[in-house]
């Protein structure tokens, strides 16, 4: 693990270009949630030339389908889902200015290539640590696709939301480099 | 003959899914601690400490460890001298799931395979029933998350590949899965039976406690070797690199057809949740 960095959304090219794989980042500000079904709807809107329910420019999308909130809590457990299911949609959103994705698990080469091209990063949240991560989410509000239930798009207000840089804007991949470093095969 | 009311089954299933989602076994917590102590990667240690803290928060707040509270897998050992009254067995279990996922603020993940429309109450439960001697009902609840389940496979191997072929298949499966199944993983392995039986064996193997070996020394050696080989892949916790990629590997073996060598590999995440109760 290299640096510990605090960032506030929306993110600029400069914000993401200084990040390197293995950096621990604490995110503050607004982020949006989206999983498979929501991504499909967003990208369908783009191909129809219609407006998205939120402006993705400079934004970060968190791949999560949270558990229901208990009374008095903003959100239930909220750890990341596996990201490859969003690979088909991610480059389109990066082209529109999305700067970050939060999830877990490997990305396709074309997604990593798009991160280089459009200056965006892929951030890993600790899968399965849903109760811990929920502590850094201060507010949650459904802004689109309520019919999708846990998959609806939510606007989250986060404080010191902990992530690790998995893919940076230079094409590096922590999953590849990390395994290489500790492999004893 | 002992009579058991269907409502009793519903109550137990409801409680098992709520409780099993909010905690993990001491065996697994000890495995987290061992990883924190021994992993060679600083980032790996940090992730494992997060996981430990996560469990502490979940227990304290009585909230789910992971937002993926799974499909509801239920193993039932039904004593043949039990007579269920006041309702249907399957309905009673599904009602327990329905109530547990609602009352426990658990995520409902069950959906139509094609429209992807959420069923809304996390039913139907996946029920594996075994009739056993006696007049008790043992119910084992396994909330099974999707990320790790997607990395699982059934493979009908050629018998000539033998145990070496089995080991290689499992290790390669985990290598290909990389960071996806939320490592450090637990691997349930079914060997033998038929196409469907081997998958059920693999799932049931996940109920074993970390560190408990198959009683057959030949099989136990294979479990140890596969565990060691997976941990040499360097995947590490969450795939960020490290020496703790897998907590344990459990083989369950049964006879198979003379033409076959069925192999089921059921991948489980580090939050291996399961809980049982006896009525």
Does B54 map to a domain?
no
pLDDT on residue A185: 85
Say if residue B126 is in the same domain as residue B231. Answer: no
Of the residues B144, B161, B192, the one at which a domain ends: B144
Average pLDDT, chain B: 97
Q: Is the pLDDT of residue A176 over 60?
A: yes
Distance from CA of A157 to the nearest CA of B (A): 18
Of the residues B111, B144, B177, the one at which a domain ends: B144
C-alpha closest to that of B103 among B9, B4, B21? B21
Q: Is A100 among the catalytic positions?
A: no
CATH, domain range A4-182 = 3.20.130.10
- Structural domain count of chain B: 2
Say if residue B71 is in the same domain as residue B132. Answer: yes
Does B115 map to a domain?
yes
pLDDT on residue B124: 98
Say if residue B8 is in the same domain as residue B119. Answer: yes
Supply the pTM of this predicted model. Answer: 0.94
pLDDT tens column, A150-175: 899 999 999 999 999 999 999 999 99
Q: Which two tokens stand for residue B254?
A: 């049964």
pLDDT grade, residue A3 (50/70/90)?
A: confident
Contact B105 A130 (CB under 8 A): no
Among A23, A63, A128, most B C-beta atoms within 10 A, so best to mutate, is A128
Say if residue B139 is in the same domain as residue B155. Answer: no
For residue B140, what are the β-bridge partners?
Answer: B75, B276
Contacts 24+ apart (CB under 8 A), B227-234: B229/B167, B229/B171, B230/B170, B230/B171, B230/B174, B230/B185, B230/B187, B232/A183, B232/A184, B232/A185, B233/A179, B233/A183, B233/A185, B233/B171, B233/B174, B233/B175, B234/A178, B234/A179, B234/A180, B234/A181, B234/A182, B234/A183, B234/A184, B234/A185
Say if residue B16 is in the same domain as residue B140. Answer: yes
Instruction: Mark the ranges of chain B whose per-residue pLDDT is less than 50.
Output: none
Contacts of A148 in chain B (CB under 8 A): 118
Distance from CA of B260 to the nearest CA of A (A): 30
Contacts of B48 in chain A (CB under 8 A): none
pLDDT grade, residue A2 (50/70/90)?
A: low
The complex scores an ipTM of 0.92
Say if residue B159 is in the same domain as residue B261. Answer: yes
pLDDT tens column, A20-79: 999 999 999 999 999 999 999 999 999 999 999 999 999 999 999 999 999 999 999 999
Contacts of A137 in chain B (CB under 8 A): none
Calpha distance B5→B93 (Å, rounded): 12
Percent of chain A with pLDDT over 70: 99
Average pLDDT, chain A: 95
pLDDT on residue A1: 47
Using only C-alpha atoms, what is the Rg of chain A?
16
Domain ranges of chain A: 4-182
pLDDT on residue B216: 98
Contact yes or no for B256/A114 (Cβ under 8 A): no
Alpha helices in chain A (DSSP H): 13-17, 36-47, 90-95, 109-118, 130-134, 174-182
pLDDT tens column, B52-107: 999 999 999 999 999 999 999 999 999 999 999 999 999 999 999 999 999 999 99
Three-state SS string across A28-71, please?
EEEEEECCHHHHHHHHHHHHCCCCCCCCCCCCEEECCCCCCCCC
Q: Which of B46, B69, B150 sits opposite A1 (nearest CB)?
A: B46
Q: Which two tokens stand for residue B262?
A: 């069925």
Say if residue B97 is in the same domain as residue B201. Answer: no
Does B154 map to a domain?
yes
pLDDT on residue B210: 97
pLDDT tens column, B210-219: 999 999 999 9
Of the residues B103, B118, B144, the one at which a domain ends: B144
Does B55 map to a domain?
no
Say if residue B171 is in the same domain as residue B92. Answer: no
Q: Which residues contact A47 (CB under 8 A, 6 or more apart)?
A: none
Does B27 map to a domain?
no
Residue-number span of the structural domain to which B123 is assigned? 2-20+65-144
Distance from CA of A86 to the nearest CA of B (A): 13
């Amino acid at each position: 693990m290299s640096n510990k960095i605090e960032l506030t959304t929306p993110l600029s090219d400069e914000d993401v270009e200084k990040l390197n794989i293995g950096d621990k980042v604490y995110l503050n500000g607004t982020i949006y949630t989206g999983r498979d079904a929501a991504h499909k709807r967003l990208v369908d809107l783009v191909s129809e030339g219609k407006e998205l329910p939120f402006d993705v420019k400079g934004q970060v999308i968190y791949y999560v389908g949270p558990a229901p909130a208990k009374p008095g809590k903003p959100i239930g457990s909220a750890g990341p889902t596996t990201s490859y299911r969003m690979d088909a949609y991610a480059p389109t959103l990066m082209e529109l200015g999305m700067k970050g994705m939060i999830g877990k698990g490997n990305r396709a080469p074309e997604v990593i290539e798009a991160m280089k091209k459009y200056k965006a990063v892929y951030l890993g949240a600790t899968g399965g640590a849903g109760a811990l991560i929920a502590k850094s989410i201060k507010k949650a509000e459904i802004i689109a696709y309520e019919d999708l239930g846990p998959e609806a798009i939510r606007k989250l207000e986060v404080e010191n939301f902990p992530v690790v840089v998995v893919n940076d804007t230079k094409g590096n991949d922590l999953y590849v480099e990390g395994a290489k470093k500790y492999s004893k095969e | 003959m002992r009579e058991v009311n269907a409502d009793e089954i519903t109550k137990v299933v409801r409680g098992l899914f709520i409780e099993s989602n909010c905690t993990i076994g001491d065996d697994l917590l000890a495995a987290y601690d061992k990883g924190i102590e021994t992993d060679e990667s600083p980032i790996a240690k940090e992730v494992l400490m997060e996981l430990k803290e996560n469990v502490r928060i979940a227990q304290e707040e009585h909230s789910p460890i992971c937002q993926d509270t799974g499909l509801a897998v239920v193993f039932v050992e039904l004593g043949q001298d039990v007579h269920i009254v006041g309702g249907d067995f399957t309905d009673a279990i599904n009602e327990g799931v329905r109530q547990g996922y609602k009352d426990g603020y658990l995520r409902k993940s069950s959906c139509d395979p094609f429209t992807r429309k959420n069923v809304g109450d996390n039913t139907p439960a996946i029920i594996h029933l075994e009739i056993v001697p006696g007049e008790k009902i043992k119910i084992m609840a396994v909330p099974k998350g999707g990320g790790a389940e997607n990395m699982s496979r059934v493979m009908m191997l050629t018998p000539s590949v033998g145990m070496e072929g089995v080991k290689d298949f499992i290790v390669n499966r985990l290598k290909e899965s990389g960071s996806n199944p939320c490592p450090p993983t637990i691997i349930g392995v079914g060997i033998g039976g038929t196409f469907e039986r081997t998958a059920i064996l693999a799932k049931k193997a996940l109920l074993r406690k970390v560190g408990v070996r198959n009683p057959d020394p030949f099989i136990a050696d294979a479990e140890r070797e596969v565990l060691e080989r997976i941990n040499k892949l360097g995947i590490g916790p969450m795939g960020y690199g490290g020496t703790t990629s897998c907590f344990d590997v459990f083989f369950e073996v049964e006879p198979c057809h003379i033409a076959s060598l069925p192999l089921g590999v059921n991948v489980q995440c580090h939050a291996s949740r399961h809980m049982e109760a006896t009525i």
